[in-house]
Amino acid sequence: MNTLHARALLFSAIEGGNTFWNREIVTHGPEAVVQRIREGGYVDGKNERAVAAIKNNHPEAILELIQRTGARFITPEETKWPLLINDLATPPIGLVVKGNISALSYSSLAIVGTRNPTNYGVRIAGDFAAGFVDREWAVISGGAYGIDSSAHKGALIAEGITIAVLATGVDVNYPAGNVRLFAEIAETGALISEVMPGVHAVPARFLTRNRLIASLSKATLVVEAAFRSGSLRTARDASELLRPVMAIPGPITSPTSEGCHRLIGERVAEIVTSVADAMEFVSAIR
């Protein structure tokens, strides 16, 4: 069994961000882990479902399923693998990528925020996305309604590259209203997933997805976010990776700006008010 086939088997059965399996793969290598599973190792009940799936699945069938969606399965052994992602404590076993794999090599900015933005937030997300792609950066976000969609659309309108990191399979249009947006993203940019095609979203997958957004990007910008928001998790993931984090200020009476003000107040994020500010801050850090 080669490395690609071993990783395909492990990828198909193990949830992203799993500390135990990550440690095993890093320590022993994917082929050795699969061999041990097939020889009856890892009998702990917590691993029972993953072990059974790896024993019963066939790597060729897994890769064929991915290819049928128009996507590719890439692994850390490939030259097109985004090296920034290796800074994670639990990097992915592999990634499913639909679209332009070369988009992963661009310097990129993550733009994240609330699913229920104000008109101000929508405009700012689009303006910053357009400003960065004009400077030959890619824009990364999570494909959700709200700030995510506004960032993707801003990049596309400016004829730039944008990447959506999904919490579902690349063939699952979630949210359904973004079907056309996902198709447009994949034309020049990419849809990325850490789960197999056909897999639907569950709450935990959004958290593991957020770490990918942070790690794939050289910097993260939070536009609008509530006091308790998944976007804050992305910002903290980026901060833990020592990547620049920025936040857009808003009215002190606006609930959708409370998260941004919290990041600024806790000195997790730098306040920025223009694309020029953001570029200057990111350039200084780099």
Rounded CA separation 186/178 (Å): 12
**pLDDT tops 80 at residue 285:** no
Q: Stretch 161-184: mean pLDDT, rounded?
A: 97
Q: Are 191 and 164 in contact (CB under 8 A)?
A: yes
Question: Does domain 102-285 correspond to CATH entry 3.40.50.450?
Answer: yes
- pTM equals 0.94
282 to each of 58, 104, 261, how far by Cα in Å?
Answer: 44, 19, 20
What pLDDT sits at residue 286? 56
| Positions of CATH 3.40.50.450 in the chain | 102-285
Number of H helices, E strands in the chain: 12, 9
pLDDT in tens, 11-45: 999 999 999 999 999 999 999 999 999 888 777 66
pLDDT in tens, 238-279: 999 999 999 999 999 999 999 999 999 999 999 999 999 999
pLDDT in tens, 73-119: 999 999 999 999 999 999 999 999 999 999 999 999 999 999 999 99
233 to each of 25, 183, 214, 225, how far by Cα in Å?
Answer: 26, 27, 9, 11
Rounded CA separation 281/286 (Å): 9
Rounded CA separation 83/47 (Å): 29
What pLDDT sits at residue 53? 87
Residue written as tokens 């700012």?
124
